[in-house]
A and B are shown apart, each in its own frame.
Chain A
């Protein structure tokens, strides 16, 4: 009776999976067992058929290799950049584990938060900031630093119509390399005049402001100045 154990023995015999002793013992058994001999013969016949069939399989030549090389080179060119980025990312992650990366991340988050806050403030307060200030209510302040070596000289006030020009003088402070940035800022604050510190050198003419506002109204389509001619032109331009 042939069972799976015998089949396995035949397979091992055919595949060289036996030790020399096992092989000799199997051959002795073959001589006495006709059924086993018959099965072995059939298996050898199948092997021969499959091996002959193997010989008919075409050999993949240059075209397949060219396709492979093309894929390899394309992927390598595209992948190098991605691989480098991946390595940088991995490196950043590994730095994050020793604390330095976490601090950088916190600083980065803080900067992002400050930037976002600043943008929100600009959006909310922009209409208030852009409210035109009547020129006659705000004095034009001019601040001119003078060199420390030169004697202080009074500068003639600039004519700005109704708005009096106030000239503030303060000596140019020599910045010490030994002082800290905080001390420098405090010193600056002490010497600067209080109020609107961003004043133009030349006072603004009130007429210029009015004409500027009119032009803005025309451009934006918002009519705020009681000028009939402007309003009429605007309406003609937009009505059908």
Chain B
């Protein structure tokens, strides 16, 4: 499986991002003018990816569903205020990001890590993964919020780095740099406990129990 199948490999990514943003702005303007179908079109384009983002940032399905609904609710509320948006997807992502951060902060105030139930950890249906791959998925949760966010948006949600830059209001260069650092940190986390892992094919059937206990 190649990562290239996830990202849009256009010759001119900036042009592609601009045309997508304009298209979504037009959809949102139609929604403001009273066309609910346009809002539904936006929902169908981005809801699953927004939910995936919330799920990977929170690690809890129920919370992720609630936060996704809340983000859409905030977008719908803008209609009554008549507020225009140039980048509806960016608005949705920022709302979801803030909601995730607020929820995580409130969780930190009320729960310790030992109190978290098993369902919080992303261990669902990981039987297809080798142990080291499973550890890679779990290590993603140990990255800082910003690093995890950029990898989730890129790998899980399928947005290109140029799209992520527009969504988060950063320059593409900053997002590329952040993604590089996030990948380096994740690789260090995963392979620091597996120094002998050299090739992807030899990664299977490697015991990790001793390393987990350390």
A: residues with CB less than 8 A from B are 4, 7-8, 10-12, 14-17, 38-39, 41-54, 56-60, 64-65, 67-69, 71-73, 75-76, 78-80, 82-83, 86-87
Q: How many contacts A-B (CB < 8 Å)?
A: 149
Compute how far the CA of A56 lies from the CA of B197 in the bound complex, rounded to whole angstroms.
25
* 20 sample A-B contacts, Cβ–Cβ < 8 Å, listed by A number: A8-B176, A11-B176, A15-B154, A41-B198, A41-B200, A44-B3, A45-B133, A46-B190, A48-B133, A50-B137, A50-B140, A56-B124, A56-B126, A57-B156, A59-B48, A60-B47, A65-B43, A75-B73, A79-B80, A83-B79
Asked if A72 and B190 make an inter-chain contact with CB atoms under 8 angstroms apart, the answer reads no
B183 touching A46, Cβ below 8 Å: yes
Interface of A is mostly: helix
| Chain B residues numbered 25-78 whose CB sits less than 8 Å from any CB in chain A | 34, 36, 39-40, 43, 47-48, 51-52, 55-56, 61, 65, 68-69, 72-73, 76-77
Q: Cα distance A52–B82 when bound, in Å?
A: 42
Q: State which residues 146-176 of B face A: CB under 8 Å.
A: 151, 154-156, 160-161, 176
Chain B residue nearest in CB terms to A81? B80
Interface residues, chain B, with chain A CB atoms under 8 Å away: 1, 3-4, 6-7, 9, 34, 36, 39-40, 43, 47-48, 51-52, 55-56, 61, 65, 68-69, 72-73, 76-77, 79-82, 122, 124-126, 128-130, 132-134, 136-137, 140, 151, 154-156, 160-161, 176-177, 179-181, 183-184, 186-187, 190-191, 197-200, 203
Task: Please report the C-alpha to C-alpha distance between residue A89 and residue B193 in the assembled complex, in whole angstroms.
Answer: 65
Judge whether B125 and A8 touch: CB under 8 Å: no
The listed residue (B6, B77, B129, B184) touching A52 by CB distance below 8 A is B129
Q: Let me know if B186 and A46 touch, CB within 8 A.
A: yes
